[in-house]
Amino acid sequence: MTTGTRHPQTTLATTRLQTRVAVATLPTIEPRRRRTRGIGRRICIHLALLAICAAAILPFLWMVSTSLKTLEATLAYPPRWWPDPIQWQNYIEVFRNPKANFLLWTRNTLIIAVLGVAGTTLSSALVAYGFAKLRFFGRRTLFVIMLSTMMLPFPVTMVSLFAMFRWLGDTTGIAFLGTFKPLWLPAWFGSAFNIFLLRQFFMTIPNELSEAARIDGCSELGIFWRIILPLSKPALAVVALFAFMGIWNDFLGPLVYLQRPEQFTLALGLQNFQSKAGGTSWHLLMAASTLVILPAILLFFLAQRTFIEGIATTGTKG
Amino acid sequence: MASVRRQLRASVIGLAFVSPWLIGFLVFTLVPVALSLYYSFCSYSLLQPPLFKGLENYRTLATDPVFWQALRNTIVYGAVALPLGMLAALCVAMLLNSKISGVSIYRTIVFLPSLVPAVASAMLWLWLFNSKLGLINTTLVALGVSEPPQWLASPRWAMPALILMSLWGIGNTVVIYLAGLQDVPRELYEAAEIDGASSLRQVWHVTLPCISPVIFFNLIMGIIGTLQVFATPFILTGGGPARATYFYTMYLYDNAFSYLKMGYASAMAWVQLLIVLALTALAAWSSKRWVHYQGK
């Protein structure tokens, strides 16, 4: 690490970095310790893990089971695990419901996600390149300041950001509040953690390639775009994936900035659907929740493989 | 002269590359933080320009029973859910670190709940905690509990329900611990074994010191996260019943956007910032005693 100091923020950020890599390679991490001895002990560990996994997964099964029940079946007592009859229409019903517009909400979420993910990936990479490969006055100080901003809770700036976007709208005549802009625009100015993650990755790329390009008269921007970015696809994918998950999960941001139901994101829409539909249509609510959860889980399983490959290839290069 | 010019040129290029973050930092962090400090000394309803009132907001906060209740709720939640979650996550991570067959499946399953968006998991638990038809109470009744708790509908059980629910989402923390456990040098265990240390003593004298930086990390992130708890209680209980689950950030949000007391909300934001800073500094100070960094 060129900053040299063991700054607590750097340590915190490094730990978070390890986590992302660990999440990305979740099933492949091989325990370094020798095989656990004793058959009795192994059985105990299995039993404990089975109980924990049951607690983790039963709520999911219950959700899916409820989502396939008829309204009467959800209200039956005692409840049954297996829905009979299985009512697939619930999932269609969710999309047809007049109180909800899940298709539109999905579209809205995807618009914000595409703009936000593109913005945060591109700008974070640009800034990370500056911190990793270029020497300039004040680099160290700026880097430490950047790491400290990771600890700032969103509620602290929430109120004044809202006031600022309102002022910006009044001054420029371009509406900000009640549009998607406050939700994706800040992403185009880099996010501290992603900058850190990409910087760590860029620093592992040897300088010889860039030097050769520089001698051939390539500009810094050209080196960044033609040499560094193509070599960093796996790291960029990690940033993009987590940025997407962040936007997909965000609730407070849309709640603050979006006002009309036709602008809602899925997270906000789901909450709105629940509060409007009242406490009885559990089958529809669970079907909607399943639909919101599914992409996140699918993405996790799909991305896992790409990430492992990505990390494996970079490992051989280094 | 030429080298000075070259250095200057390099600095300009470097600053140009980091300029997106620099501008973003000024516009989306520094200015809002400064503005909220200014607002916190004002009466500001968004509809009229801020009116300077000195320390009035802070004085009102000091005697505002709702503020204290929200703060107390947040502290109670954090003081129970955070250590409980960290301990549970550590235990699960240790189990997942053992070399047994099928461990990768266990790992994936344990991690799955942390992929669930907060809103969706709130819906799910709203249904699980349903006092009459929910899975939890119907199971309790089947097990012979004649009057199971009313959970989210009861001022006494709503908070324990939220804490219970928070344990479902520890997968992320588990993975952080797991990454830390993998880094513990194997030689240390072998040495401890040769010295005749029992498994428990190995955990105490080898594992815990080695992963203390990870524990520290989880503690800091947990403190920051707890002070921001919002979506889950907002959806599950709306802060009720009888404000039993009314959290700090919820009151801040309500002041800002329901009552349009932006100045008052800004004062709360600054108090929140100071609490985060104080707790982090406290944790960092105490870490000198219990966090061990392995030489690199």
Question: Per the domain annotation, does A204 fall within a domain?
Answer: yes
Q: Is the distance from CB of A196 to CB of A179 less than 8 angstroms?
A: no
Residues 6+ apart with CB under 8 A from A277: A97, A99, A100, A284, A285
Residues 6+ apart with CB under 8 A from A13: A147, A150, A193, A196
Report which of residues A161 and A17 the model is more confident about: A161
pLDDT of residue B41: 93
Tokens in use for B248? 């700090």
Residues 6+ apart with CB under 8 A from B237: B152, B158, B162, B244, B245
- CATH number, domain at A104? 1.10.3720.10
Optimal mutation site among B31, B86, B107, B123, interface A, most CBs of chain A within 10 A: B123
Tokens in use for A214? 């520089």
| Residues of A in Cβ contact (< 8 Å) with B112 | 56-57, 60, 297, 300
Handedness of CA A294, A296, A301, A306 (dihedral sign): positive
Question: Per the domain annotation, does A70 fall within a domain?
Answer: no
Nearest CA in chain A to B249: A155
Optimal mutation site among B87, B119, B175, interface A, most CBs of chain A within 10 A: B119
Cα-trace Rg, chain A = 24
| Residues of B in Cβ contact (< 8 Å) with A125 | none
* pLDDT-derived band at A279, boundaries 50, 70, 90: low
Tokens in use for B103? 């461990």
Structural domain including A231 reads 99-277
Phi first, then psi: give them for residue B52, nearest 5 degrees. -65, 130
pLDDT of residue A96: 83
Neighbours of B283 (CB within 10 A): 16
Q: Is the distance from CB of A169 to CB of A104 less than 8 angstroms?
A: no
Question: Per the domain annotation, does B22 fall within a domain?
Answer: no
Nearest CA in chain A to B16: A130
Question: Per the domain annotation, does A27 fall within a domain?
Answer: no
Cα A129 to Cα A112, A202, A233, B154, distances in angstroms: 25, 7, 14, 54
CB pair distance less than 8 Å for B217 and A297 = no
CB pair distance less than 8 Å for A11 and B18 = no
Nearest by CB to B276, from A6, A151, A192: name it: A151
Instruction: Please tell me the distance in Å from B166's CA to the nearest CA on chain A.
Output: 12
Tokens in use for A229? 């970015």
Residue A43 burial (10 A CB sphere; 0-12, 13-18, 19+): exposed
Interchain contact B5–A (C-beta under 8 A): no
SS3 A179: coil
Cα B21 to Cα A232, B64, B150, distances in angstroms: 20, 39, 49
Number of folded domains in chain A?
1
Task: From first to last of the 296 residues of chain B, give the pLDDT tens digit.
Answer: 668 888 888 888 889 999 999 999 999 999 999 999 999 999 888 888 888 988 989 999 999 999 999 999 999 999 999 999 999 999 999 999 888 888 888 988 988 898 899 999 999 999 899 888 888 888 898 888 888 888 988 889 999 999 999 999 888 888 888 888 887 888 888 888 888 888 888 888 888 888 888 888 888 888 888 888 999 999 988 887 888 899 999 999 999 999 999 999 999 999 999 999 999 888 888 888 888 876 54
The strand ranges marked E within A59-214 are: none
Nearest CA in chain B to A52: B110
Interchain contact A155–B (C-beta under 8 A): yes
| Residues of A in Cβ contact (< 8 Å) with B123 | 270, 274, 285-286, 288-289
| Mean pLDDT along residues A292-302 | 88
Structural domain including B208 reads 64-290
**Does a cis peptide bond (omega within 30 degrees of 0) precede residue B209?**
no
* pLDDT-derived band at A7, boundaries 50, 70, 90: low
Question: Per the domain annotation, does A286 fall within a domain?
Answer: no
Give CA–CA dist B188/B22, Å, rounded: 44
CB pair distance less than 8 Å for A136 and B13 = yes
Question: Per the domain annotation, does B84 fall within a domain?
Answer: yes
pLDDT in tens, A252-261: 999 999 988 8
Cα B162 to Cα B73, B140, B234, B269, distances in angstroms: 11, 18, 11, 24
Neighbours of B102 (CB within 10 A): 10
Residue A14 has pLDDT above 80, yes or no: no
Instruction: Please tell me the distance in Å from A122's CA to the nearest CA on chain B.
Output: 10
Tell whether pTM > 0.90: no
Nearest by CB to B21, from A31, A34, A189: name it: A189
**ipTM here:** 0.87
Number of folded domains in chain B?
1
Region for residue A239 given its phi and psi (left: phi exceeds 0; alpha: psi -120 to 50; beta: otherwise):
alpha
| Residues of B in Cβ contact (< 8 Å) with A158 | 252-253, 256, 269
Interchain contact A176–B (C-beta under 8 A): no
Q: Nearest 5 degrees, angle CA A308-CA A312-CA A318? A: 145
Interchain contact A317–B (C-beta under 8 A): no
CB pair distance less than 8 Å for B24 and A189 = yes
**Contacts for B85-92 with beta carbons within 8 Å, 24 or more apart?**
B85/B166, B85/B167, B85/B170, B85/B173, B85/B222, B86/B173, B86/B215, B86/B218, B86/B219, B86/B222, B88/B167, B88/B170, B89/B170, B89/B173, B89/B174, B89/B176, B89/B177, B89/B218, B90/B177, B90/B215, B92/A52, B92/B170, B92/B174
Give CA–CA dist A274/A280, Å, rounded: 10
Question: Per the domain annotation, does A313 fall within a domain?
Answer: no
pLDDT in tens, A234-254: 888 888 888 898 899 999 999
* pLDDT-derived band at A273, boundaries 50, 70, 90: confident
- CATH number, domain at B223? 1.10.3720.10
Question: Per the domain annotation, does A131 fall within a domain?
Answer: yes
Cα B139 to Cα A79, B95, B153, distances in angstroms: 9, 27, 18
CB pair distance less than 8 Å for B123 and A46 = no
Question: Per the domain annotation, does A244 fall within a domain?
Answer: yes
Question: Per the domain annotation, does A56 fall within a domain?
Answer: no
CB pair distance less than 8 Å for B228 and A155 = yes
Interchain contact B242–A (C-beta under 8 A): no
Residue A22 has pLDDT above 80, yes or no: no
Question: Per the domain annotation, does B168 fall within a domain?
Answer: yes
Q: Which residue, A249, A293, A66, A266, is CA-closest to B112?
A: A293
Tokens in use for B222? 């947990």
Q: Which residues pair with B52 in a beta bridge?
A: B42
- Where b means 16+ CB within 10 Å and e means fewer, A85-104 reads eebeebbebbeebeebbbee
CB pair distance less than 8 Å for B120 and A289 = yes
Interchain contact B43–A (C-beta under 8 A): no
Question: Per the domain annotation, does B175 fall within a domain?
Answer: yes
